[in-house]
Amino acid sequence: MRPDLEPKPIRPRLLVSVRDADEAALACASGADLVDAKDPENGALGALPVEIVRGIVARVGARVATSAVAGEPDEEASLAGCVAAMADTGVDYVKVAVWPGQSDAALQAAAEAASGRLIGVLFAEDGLALDALARLSAAGFRGAMIDTRGKTGRRLGDWLASDHLAAFVATCRTHGLLSGLAGSLSVDDVSTLAAHEPGYLGFRGGLCRDGDRRNALDPVRVSAAVEAFRALGRRDAA
């Protein structure tokens, strides 16, 4: 894995979720740190067809890091297969939903299907499950994110208090996991959430036209997000 994928201590990195190669090119050209392939028409973790993900990887090349959602498989038996199919596209990271009750064997099989590249996504609506992070680390996951399952306008901070988010990031760090925070975020959330020092902050709807995640990315909103992240770096370097 490229060493430049590791988060710098100065600021978190900007993850922008995209639905096709054109959006990926826009996010990359604007200054996003990570381009994340997902289907916004299919829930919080809708997977795109592998052909589209391959096109995204080819379009951005090595200019930025890439990730792709492997979906929310209903049964443990299909988890590793979904992860393997998305890992085969060449993305740097694969993201997959993690839910209470998954067996250690299933988690380990999924991690082996994308060795050193698997990110587990927990949902804020399920509450803070810090014990899950130790299990993900032991299974071989590379990182963990918190997102919101429902895209109804309720934001990450509406589900989890600031100290809970700080505890999530700190526990990820304790277990050697990359960390990410997402969930209907807006540019106004950048400064507050950056204080928790996550590896990544993830955006989709807040950077789309009219704030609707099903619409195309808005270049003005993407640029505003990039500038907010750069301002963090300038502030910390001062």
Catalytically active residues are: 38, 95
Type of residue found at 170: A
Return the residue matching tokens 């919101």: 148
Cα pseudo-dihedral 9, 10, 16, 20, rounded to 10: -80
H or E segment and range at residue 56: helix 50-60
Q: In this structure, are residues 66 and 86 in contact, taking their beta carbons and an 8 Å threshold?
A: no
Exposed, middle or buried, 101 (CB in 10 Å: 0-12/13-18/19+)?
exposed
Cα pseudo-dihedral 160, 162, 164, 170, rounded to 10: 140
CA nearest to 193, candidates 220, 166, 172: 166
What are the CA-CA distances from residue 13 to residues 78, 226, 227, 230 (Å)? 31, 9, 12, 10
What are the CA-CA distances from residue 74 to residues 81, 82, 84, 97, 98 (Å)? 12, 11, 16, 10, 11
Looking at residue 215, the DSSP 8-state letter turns out to be S
